């Protein structure tokens, strides 16, 4: 059943041109923040629930993550985010995940997001995941709606290369918080200690005009425990460019992450995030 849903949704993404606008609202994750947002083909921790649900089955785990994010990037980006997520790929062949996110918005009010995701690995080189998202807005705009994401990770050269295709907000809604987007990603692993990644996201504004965002980043492991991250992201529509830095400390049952993002040319634009992940 999951495979049939995936095939139909991919056909939707490529054969139907969305006529709605779009905002990049799925970026919740400390490791992705440190890598400049280039995470769709990596998707190897709980942040996959937001970036690419297909990634949750890349490893066998039961993990819980708590995250806090704060920023001064722009009025469109939340000031503070509180987030908790659970991913389980141990219990059955089909992996699952759940997350709750509360965003305190710059213009007042808040947005609560609930995600439930299912994913499965088809052969060694293909991971497919689908998620349902319920969003509820309170404050200046009281509204609620449901939509869905679908993600793929393909590993043609399993140890060295992975590619991703992700469709966001595939159930049509006329709300600016959930317009359709198409994300593409590529990740390379020259060695066990190095990850290099590049992503692109295309979305549409209220007039059907396309906007293109791009992300580049990487991670280098030091002594098998410390991950050093860096990245760069840009937006052709707003001409906003950012650099990112991050750290990750990895232990057998615990990971602690920190990410930092800063606007290029504007010292007042910055965002930071921390998270704690425990594995069972």
- Identify the structural domains of the chain with CATH numbers, from first to last: 2-279 (2.40.160.60)
pLDDT at 20 over 60: no
Question: 6 near 151, Cβ under 8 Å?
Answer: no
C-alpha 45/C-alpha 117 separation (Å) is: 14
Output phi, psi for 91, to 5 deg.
-65, -40
pLDDT band at residue 270 under the 50/70/90 scheme? confident
Other Cβ atoms closer than 10 A to 268: 8
Residues 176-213: tens digit of each pLDDT: 667 788 999 999 999 999 999 999 999 876 566 678 89
Nearest to 103 by CA among 125, 135, 126, 128: 135
Q: What is the CA radius of gyration of the chain?
A: 17
- Token digits of residue 183: 């994300």
Give SS3 for 236.
coil
pLDDT class for 139, splitting at 50, 70, 90? confident
Mean pLDDT of 207-235: 89
Which class for 236: exposed (0-12), middle (13-18), buried (19 or more C-beta within 10 A)?
Answer: exposed
Residue 12 has pLDDT above 70, yes or no: no
Share of the chain above pLDDT 70, in %: 82
């Amino acid at each position: 059943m999951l495979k049939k849903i995936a095939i139909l949704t991919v056909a939707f993404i490529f054969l139907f041109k969305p006529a709605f606008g779009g905002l990049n609202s799925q970026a919740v994750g400390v490791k992705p923040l440190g890598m400049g947002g280039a995470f769709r083909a990596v998707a190897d921790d709980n942040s996959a629930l937001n970036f690419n649900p297909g990634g949750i089955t890349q490893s066998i785990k039961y993990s819980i993550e708590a995250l806090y994010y704060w920023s001064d990037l722009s009025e469109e980006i939340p000031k503070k985010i509180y987030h908790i997520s659970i991913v389980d790929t141990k219990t059955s062949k089909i992996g699952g995940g759940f997350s709750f996110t509360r965003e305190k918005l710059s213009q007042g009010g808040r947005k609560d997001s609930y995600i439930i995701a299912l994913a499965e690995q088809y052969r060694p080189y293909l991971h497919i995941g689908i998620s349902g998202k319920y969003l509820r807005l309170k404050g200046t705009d009281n509204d609620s709606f449901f939509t869905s994401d679908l993600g793929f990770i393909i590993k043609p050269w399993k140890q060295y290369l992975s590619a991703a295709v992700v469709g966001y907000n595939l159930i049509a809604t006329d709300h600016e918080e959930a317009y359709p987007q198409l994300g593409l990603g590529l990740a390379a692993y020259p060695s066990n200690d190095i990850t290099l990644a590049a992503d692109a996201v295309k979305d549409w504004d209220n007039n059907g005009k396309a906007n293109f965002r791009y992300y580049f980043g990487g991670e280098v492991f030091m002594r098998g425990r410390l991950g050093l991250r860096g990245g760069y992201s840009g937006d052709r529509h707003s001409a906003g460019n950012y650099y990112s830095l991050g750290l990750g400390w990895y232990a057998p049952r615990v990971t602690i992450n920190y990410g930092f993002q800063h606007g290029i040319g504007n010292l007042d634009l910055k965002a930071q995030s921390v998270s704690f992940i425990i594995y069972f």
